[in-house]
Amino acid sequence: MTITRLTALGREEPSLLALAGRLLAVAESGLPRMLLPGGEAFAFTMAGRRAPDGSWSLERRGTSTRYAAITALGVRFLPEDRQRAVLAGRTAEEFTGLLVESLPAVTNLGDAALIAWAAAETGHPKLSDALARVDALDEEHRPQYTVEAAWVLSALAAARGTVDVERRFSAARDRLLRARLGDSPLFPHATGPGLLPWYRAHVSCFADQTYPLQALARAHASGDGDPEALAAAEACAARICALQGDGGQWWWHYDARTGGVVEGYPVYSVHQHAMAPTALFDLADAGGTDFGAAIRKGLGWMTDVPELAARPERREPMILDELGVTWRKVHRGDPRKAVRAARGLGVRVSPKLRLTPLDRVYRPVSVDRECRPYEFGWMLYAWEGGRI
């Protein structure tokens, strides 16, 4: 019998199964509202506004190619009729085709890599064209942002069984492994010097961890096995899970040199319900450690937010079923992200410096009332994808 990730969740913690089902229903109802008129592109974000009578309204703002590609990656796991319901009558493959056709105008490596990844996973016939665009944008020996380098590797791993990508695959795999600083298990924000100012070159974010560990796990699973890649993914996963907050929080900024936390906030909903699960699930599917307990703990944060519970007057739900959104994050509300800047510079000088008075001055009790389509794309990928 095929066991889905949701089935396994129900066996381990039945109460969370209902929460996951609720979140997936929110995703399917919310994504169509994020499509721009014509159904060929997704908004960058949905911004919530509360009226004096307490009612909410949403406004589409901007457009995002990468968010559209991530959405296609997740929606492809739905039955065809539900794919069409989400994508204005198109299947995930058909929608990916629109993105592939747009590639000549795409200049961002990450956007191109995500489109190629979606083309590989949906079986699009122009996969080779998508990979060629990635190759054209990925200048050899030039440092890249780690997230985008990870997406390149994931795309190549997904394409490996269809197209000959071995040379590019090996280079992308080696680039990620070489990016780590010293013996730290965590990944930096860029794969080499030159992209970041000196004073924040050591600071990396949660996405800089989940996407590389996912890519390396998928690289291991895509061929005859790659113990070095799997070990690197394992070490990164073990570290972020060891640092996970008592309330299930996945923290935001890390010191890539030491493997410690620089600044925990904001806590993002997408990390809790989607990005951590999809990366850790892919690691387990590749034969790595099962970090299911950490996944479940993080998911529970969505309805039990300790930051807001500590201030009853600020308490509000992170999931709004009727609007089809999950609010984006809980944050400090500090001007110009002062805490992150101070702590980043502080640990640059002294890795153990914490500047704890900042926690009392800027408490994490503010809610960012936005929701972005990629959040639901990764949620669908995490919970509807994969078979145990």
Looking at the structure, tell me whether residues 14 and 131 fall in a common domain: yes
Position 388 scores a pLDDT of 41
Position 352 scores a pLDDT of 59
**The pair of three-digit structure tokens given for residue 341, joined into one six-digit string:** 């800047």
Looking at the structure, tell me whether residues 32 and 46 fall in a common domain: yes
Q: What's the first-to-final CA gap in the chain, in angstroms?
A: 9
Residue matched to tokens 């999950």: 326
- Give the Cα separation of 191 and 194 in Å (integer): 10
Looking at the structure, tell me whether residues 118 and 235 fall in a common domain: no
Domain of 385, in residue numbers: 1-137+372-388
- Give the Cα separation of 276 and 274 in Å (integer): 6
CA distances from residue 261 to 33, 202, 356 in whole angstroms, order as listed: 36, 11, 13
Looking at the structure, tell me whether residues 119 and 195 fall in a common domain: no
**163 lies in a domain?**
no
**155 lies in a domain?**
no
CA distances from residue 315 to 307, 358, 367 in whole angstroms, order as listed: 9, 22, 9
- Give the Cα separation of 272 and 295 in Å (integer): 8
CA distances from residue 326 to 86, 155, 272, 323, 337 in whole angstroms, order as listed: 17, 28, 11, 9, 22
- Give the Cα separation of 40 and 49 in Å (integer): 26
Tens of pLDDT, residues 20-61? 999 999 999 999 999 999 999 999 999 999 999 989 999 999
Position 334 scores a pLDDT of 62
**156 lies in a domain?**
no
Looking at the structure, tell me whether residues 226 and 361 fall in a common domain: yes
Position 1 scores a pLDDT of 36
Three-class HEC string of 339-366:
HHHHHHHHHHHCCCCCCCHHHHHCCCCE
Structural domains counted in the chain = 2
Looking at the structure, tell me whether residues 359 and 379 fall in a common domain: no
Looking at the structure, tell me whether residues 129 and 253 fall in a common domain: no
Is the bond preceding residue 335 a cis peptide, omega within 30 degrees?
no
Q: Which residues of the chain have pLDDT under 70?
A: 1-3, 314, 334-362, 387-388
Looking at the structure, tell me whether residues 117 and 220 fall in a common domain: no
- Give the Cα separation of 200 and 341 in Å (integer): 9
- Give the Cα separation of 180 and 257 in Å (integer): 8
**Residue in 147, 341, 353, 357 with CA at minimum distance from that of residue 258:** 353
**Residue in 363, 368, 367 with CA at minimum distance from that of residue 332:** 363
**56 lies in a domain?**
yes
Position 64 scores a pLDDT of 98
Looking at the structure, tell me whether residues 107 and 121 fall in a common domain: yes
